Amino acid sequence: MVSEGDECFRALVADLKHDLGKYVAWRSANYPELWAGDWDERAWNEPEWVEALRSDILTTLGGRAAWEIWDERTSGWPRPWASRAMAQVEQAVEVLRRHGDLLRAGASVELVRAHRDLVAAQRTIRDALRRAAREAQSE
């Protein structure tokens, strides 16, 4: 079993930072109103917001959902994570996973209601992976 703090962990974090952290919000981060939470009834007039959010989470990299990438890359790693940042990423990925059916269904009132949780999870994944990468490099 590989432990945190070694070269394999640094490689894992670097890969996740690129493959998950970068692409989980590739398009949706370009809509400041969406990321600021201003997405109530305006969402119906901004269909590209819905599509950007769905695309980022459901087809993060290579047509795979964000949680599929996380599961694939971290399945052999012991839990709980010693790294607080990695634990935060895992929690945020679970938020996305819980909303998978809703995201697949497309634009809906429920998706509009859930968008703040989804965007917060995207932001957490990006920020926490950046922190984990800095911490891994300093060890």
Predicted confidence (pLDDT) at residue 2 exceeds the cutoff of 50: no
Question: What's the pLDDT tens digit per position in 87-134?
Answer: 999 999 999 999 999 999 987 778 878 888 999 999 999 999 999 999
Q: Which residue, 134, 122, 104, is CA-closest to 22?
A: 122
Q: Give the SS3 label for residue 59.
A: coil
Where does 7-138 sit in CATH, by number?
A: 1.20.120
At residue 46, the pLDDT reads 67
Residue ranges per structural domain of the chain: 7-138
Query: Which pTM value belongs to this model?
Result: 0.90
Cα gap 114→92, rounded to integer Å: 13
Give the pLDDT score at 100.
96
26: Cα within 13 Å, side-chain hemisphere: 17
Question: Does residue 122 contact residue 22 with C-beta atoms inside 8 Å?
Answer: no
Per-residue pLDDT reduced to its tens digit, 36-57: 766 665 655 567 888 899 999 9
- pLDDT for 73 beyond 70: yes
| 50 or 67, which is more confident | 67
**What distances in angstroms separate CA 101 from CA 35, 97, 117, one per listed residue?**
21, 8, 15
Q: Can you tell me the distance from the alpha carbon of 102 to that of 99, in angstroms, rounded to the nearest whole number?
A: 5
